[in-house]
Structure 1
Amino acid sequence: GFFYIYPMHFLYIIYSKQSNRFYIGETQNVQKRVLMHNQHAFKNAFTTSAKDWQLELSFECESKEEAFCLERFIKRMKSRVFIEKIIRNPSVLKEILNKK
C-alpha cells in the first residue's frame, strides 16, 4: 500500500550571549535554521541583533501545527524563567500538548 511520510517538525530555542536573549521558533531543519539566524537570512527579524545564536533545545513534534502551537504558547508566556524551565525539563512541552 501507499503511505505518505510526513516531514518532522521541531520547536527550537536558541540563545545569544551577545544579546542575552532567547528566541523560539519552529522548523523542519534545526541546524540549517540556526545557521540562517546567525547569517541574518531573515532581514527584519529579532535575531539580527546577534550573530552568536546557539541551540539550547530542539523538541520533535508530530506536525507543524503542534510545533506552532507550542511556539505560540511559550511566546505568550513572555517569561525567561519559563523558557529556562523548558530547557532544563523538556517534558513540560508534552504536558502542554496533553492539555490542549
Structure 2
Amino acid sequence: MFYVYIIHSEKFDKYYVGSSQNPWKRIEKHNTSPFNTFTSKYRPWEIKAVFEAGTSRGQAEEIEKFIKKQKSKTILIKLIDQNFIPNGKLAQLVRVPHVRD
C-alpha cells in the first residue's frame, strides 16, 4: 500500500505533502536527513494526516501532485480535519490512524 501524508512544522507554520510506502519512517528522514531540502529548512515536522492512496507508487504520486497543484493551505487543513470527507479527485483517499506501534 502507498500513502499520501501531510506533515506540519509548527515552528514555521509550514505544511508539506508527500507520498510513501511508510510515511512513519519517511517523517524520520524529513527530520534527520543531512541534505539541504525544503523539509530540512523547517524542522521539526509532525505527521498531521495519513491516507491510503492506492497499491502503486503512481497512484499515490498522482494524488500528491493534485494536492500540491491546488496550492491551498485551506485544503490541507480540511484534509487534516478528522470530520472532513474527501470528495471528487480525493474521494479515493482512506484516512488511517497516524499513530503506529
- Match in the other structure for 1:5: none
**Which position in structure 2 is the counterpart of 1:61?**
53
Does 2:44 match 1:49? Answer: no
> Identity rate of aligned residues, in percent?
34
Match for 1:12: what amino acid? Y
TM-score w.r.t. length of structure 1: 0.79
| Equivalent residue, structure 2, for 1:27 | 20
Residue pair 2:53, 2:63 contacting (<8 A) in 1 also:
no
What is the TM-score normalised by the length of structure 2? 0.78
RMSD: 1.9
In the TM superposition, structure 1's runs of 4+ consecutive aligned residues that sit over 3 Å from their partners are: none
CA contact (8 A) 1:19 1:49 kept: no
Q: CA deviation at 1:64?
A: 1.2
**Rounded Cα–Cα distance in structure 1 between residues aligned with 2:18 and 2:2:** 11
- The SS at the match of 1:91 is coil
Q: Does 1:40 align with 2:38?
A: no
Larger radius of gyration: 1
What is the number of residues matched between the two proteins? Answer: 90
Structure 2 portions without partners, runs of 5+: 93-101
Please state how far the C-alpha of 1:82 moved relative to its aligned partner: 1.1
2:84 and 2:52 map into 1 onto residues whose CA distance is: 10
Query: Which segments of 5 or more consecutive residues in structure 1 lack a partner in the other structure?
Result: 1-7
Offset at residue 98 of structure 1 (A) = 5.6
Any idea what SS the aligned residue of 1:19 has? Answer: coil
* Structure in which a larger fraction of residues adopt helix: 1
**Structure 1 CA distance, aligned partners of 2:88 and 2:51?**
13
Q: What corresponds to 2:71 in structure 1? A: 78
